[in-house]
């Protein structure tokens, strides 16, 4: 007899070997129909998998995360099947699951076109409608190589050739198409109903630029039609909000091939930058941080002491002068330790909080660069707190409260909290790691924050809290961090004099709230779809005349508002007022003031708010109070 234990703890008894599909059928016809696979003793398997011993089993359906993984994996194979049906000469290579979908790389004699993509997607739907069974077989490695060579699939043969001799490999067939794959897969193509091919791209074979350029087809697949539509709607909205597009349209910044991965800030964009920086500078002042500035270029010997030269050198920009090697700093912490070491520090000085708008450089791969979100040169609102062990918890609790306020001021209410714990390769004692991990977790508990634990994802020198923003369309952005570090101050020999008059190592807390200012501004642009809140908008109000007779009055209005610290655009062009209103509205200004003869005679202004809202005629004083209140409330 074989006993199968189900997730609810109940057991089912079978006289002999039984498949996952048969177990599902014994539970109910509905589950049998919905089954996509099984989780057998924690391992994902096909519904055709035969169970020959006692085991625990969960039936996987489209409602499960594993079920969605199966759907996407199988849809990648369906894509390859459709391509081979339409373009028999095409060679298939690899097709993995990625976030929200999948891709598959092909070698073909000509570039695929958007029309090809449409035809491939239609063929995929036809093949899915056939509901062809997906079956698995196993071949010895050498036999599998010969099999794919006979089909002209030389890339598949090469992949199998990298597998050690003597091993078996698994193949999956659906209809006329058979592919190399570890599996598992859905039981039949009819389970694949909700997918969409998204785009074409190029990709080098095995990621090596010396190899052939292949054609990559990206797709997305979901468990339900509604989920697919929600995803496509989100992508459509994301495209409208793309910070690169809005950066051009709103004249905020540009990226230039003369400086790849670096940002050219235009006057309006730099105004936004200054708004973020000055706000964060006030946060420094209000919360006991002393602003410092460390050099950009530091000697190789310092990076050797910190461990970065060995672990991070390929990502550092280096240079040489007078037979000495230097690196542009990729992070600010070593510089802050050197500042801390100047002069004798007492326990009475702790906690000592340093803050810097530190410009860093990292040699990111060209393919990874993305607008101002991922760059090679960036500025961090970087802070380091030097404290005692006893002070760690209070500092972490206070920091979380501060971060929550800052994010709320920028319009973010949804924060996801994650604690990353000790990695396998790390420095320091388990005792120190225990203290550090307890501090970050307890700090979040005391702050009333639910959090998830990401085991093994901490830095080599300490655990960290990661603060992730959820934006207006549901995307997640990891921004803030708090890292507890017992070791860097030891490596650079930093110390303080304790109450016992002995020398002690301070604990170093690494923290950033917005992280990279470049990236955070990109997130802000996309969160607000370019319509930045009044306090942060590069131009807060435009003053428009209808005819030349109101020009002088408009100049007086603009001057009055500018004297109150507002950023004003005065538009006295000889254009139709409807044209001028539309043009400024396209720039997503918070307020537009229109002045005609009636407004001039009354000493008033006609106020239009963003979103084409007509607020009517009001006195200049009343408008000034309104916009001031708007700015104050953020």
Query: Would you state the structure tokens that stand for residue 317, as one six-digit string?
Result: 């920009």
What is the spatial order of strands in the sheet that 352-361 belongs to?
A: 289-291, 352-361, 377-387, 507-516, 476-485, 464-470, 415-420, 451-454
**Angstrom distance (rounded) from CA 336 to CA 293:** 8
Among residues 77, 84, 376, 384, the one annotated as catalytic is: 384
Q: Is 360 a catalytic residue?
A: no
Among residues 46, 381, 382, 471, the one annotated as catalytic is: 382
**Angstrom distance (rounded) from CA 447 to CA 512:** 18
Are residues 75 and 128 in contact, defined by beta-carbon separation less than 8 angstroms? Answer: no
Q: Is 449 a catalytic residue?
A: no
DSSP 8-state symbol, 99 = T
Q: Is 336 a catalytic residue?
A: no
User: Beta-carbon neighbour count of residue 499 at 10 Å?
Assistant: 10
Among residues 422, 510, 528, 608, the one annotated as catalytic is: 510
Q: Is 464 a catalytic residue?
A: yes
Separation in Å, CA 152 to CA 93, 139, 145:
12, 18, 11
Q: Is 382 a catalytic residue?
A: yes
Q: Is 384 a catalytic residue?
A: yes
DSSP 8-state symbol, 252 = -
Query: Would you state the structure tokens that stand for residue 395, as one six-digit string?
Result: 């500092």
| Residue among 531, 544, 487, 528 at smallest CA distance from 510 | 487
Residues 6+ apart with CB under 8 A from 407: 413, 415, 467, 469, 480, 513
Helix ranges restricted to H, 366-429: 392-409
**Angstrom distance (rounded) from CA 563 to CA 182:** 70
Residues 6+ apart with CB under 8 A from 486: 428, 432, 435, 436, 461, 462, 505, 507, 508
Write phi, then psi, for 525 (nearest 5 degrees): -60, -45
**SS3 track for 512-538:** EEEEEHHHHHHHHHHHCCCCCCCCCCC
Please identify every residue annotated as catalytic. 333, 362, 380, 382, 384, 464, 510
């Amino acid at each position: 007899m074989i006993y199968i234990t189900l997730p609810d703890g109940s057991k089912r008894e079978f006289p002999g070997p039984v498949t996952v599909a048969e177990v599902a059928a014994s539970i109910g016809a509905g589950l049998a129909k919905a089954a996509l696979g099984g989780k057998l003793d924690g391992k994902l398997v096909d519904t055709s998998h035969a169970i020959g011993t006692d085991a625990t089993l969960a039936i996987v359906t489209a409602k499960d995360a594993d079920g969605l993984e199966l759907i996407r994996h199988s849809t990648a194979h369906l894509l390859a099947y459709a391509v081979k049906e339409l373009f028999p000469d095409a060679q298939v290579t690899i097709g993995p699951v990625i976030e929200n979908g999948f891709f598959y790389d092909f070698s073909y004699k000509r570039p695929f076109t958007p029309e090809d993509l449409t035809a491939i997607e239609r063929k995929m739907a036809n093949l899915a409608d056939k509901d062809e069974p997906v079956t698995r077989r196993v071949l010895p490695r050498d036999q599998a190589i010969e099999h794919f060579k006979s089909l002209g699939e030389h890339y598949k043969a090469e992949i199998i050739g990298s597998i050690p001799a003597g091993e078996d490999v698994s193949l999956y067939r659906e209809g006329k198409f058979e592919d190399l794959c570890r599996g598992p897969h859905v039981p039949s193509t009819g389970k694949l109903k909700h997918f969409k091919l998204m785009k074409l791209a190029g990709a080098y074979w095995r990621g090596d630029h010396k190899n052939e350029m292949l054609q990559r087809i990206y797709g997305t697949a979901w468990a339900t039609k509604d989920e697919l539509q929600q995803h496509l709607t989100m992508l459509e909205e994301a495209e409208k909000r793309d910070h690169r597009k809005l950066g051009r349209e709103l004249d905020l910044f540009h990226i230039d091939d003369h400086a790849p991965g670096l940002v050219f800030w235009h006057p309006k964009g730099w105004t936004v930058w200054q708004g973020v920086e000055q706000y964060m500078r006030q946060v420094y002042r209000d919360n006991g941080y002393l602003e410092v500035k460390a050099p950009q270029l530091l000697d190789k010997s310092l990076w050797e002491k910190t461990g970065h030269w060995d672990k991070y050198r390929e990502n550092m920009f280096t240079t040489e002068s007078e037979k000495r090697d230097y690196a542009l700093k990729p992070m600010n912490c070593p510089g802050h330790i050197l500042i801390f070491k100047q002069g004798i520090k007492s326990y009475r000085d702790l906690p000592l909080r340093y803050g810097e708008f530190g410009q860093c450089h990292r040699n990111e791969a060209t393919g990874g660069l993305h607008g101002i979100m991922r760059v090679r040169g960036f500025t961090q609102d970087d802070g380091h707190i030097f404290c005692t062990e006893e002070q760690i918890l209070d500092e972490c609790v206070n920091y979380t409260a501060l971060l929550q306020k800052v994010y709320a001021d920028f319009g973010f209410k949804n924060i996801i909290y994650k604690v990353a714990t000790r990695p396998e390769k790390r420095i320091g004692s388990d005792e120190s790691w225990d203290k550090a991990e307890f501090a970050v977790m307890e700090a979040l508990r005391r702050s009333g924050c639910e959090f998830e634990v990401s085991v093994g994802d901490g830095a080599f020198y300490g655990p960290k809290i990661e603060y992730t923003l959820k934006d207006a369309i549901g995307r997640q952005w990891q921004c803030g961090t708090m890292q507890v570090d017992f070791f860097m101050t030891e490596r650079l020999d930093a110390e303080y004099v304790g109450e016992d008059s002995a020398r002690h190592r301070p604990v170093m807390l690494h923290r950033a709230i917005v992280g990279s200012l470049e990236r955070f501004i990109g997130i802000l642009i996309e969160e607000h779809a370019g319509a930045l809140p009044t306090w942060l908008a590069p131009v807060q109000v435009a003053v428009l005349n209808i005819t030349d007779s109101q020009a002088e009055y408009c100049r007086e209005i603009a001057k009055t508002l500018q004297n109150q610290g507002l950023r004003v655009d005065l538009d006295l062009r000889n254009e139709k007022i409807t044209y001028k209103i539309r043009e400024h509205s396209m720039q997503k200004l918070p307020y537009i003031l229109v002045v005609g003869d009636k407004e001039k005679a009354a000493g008033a202004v006609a106020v239009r708010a963003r979103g084409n809202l007509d607020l009517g005629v009001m006195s200049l004083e009343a408008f000034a109070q309104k916009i001031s209140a708007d700015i104050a409330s953020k």
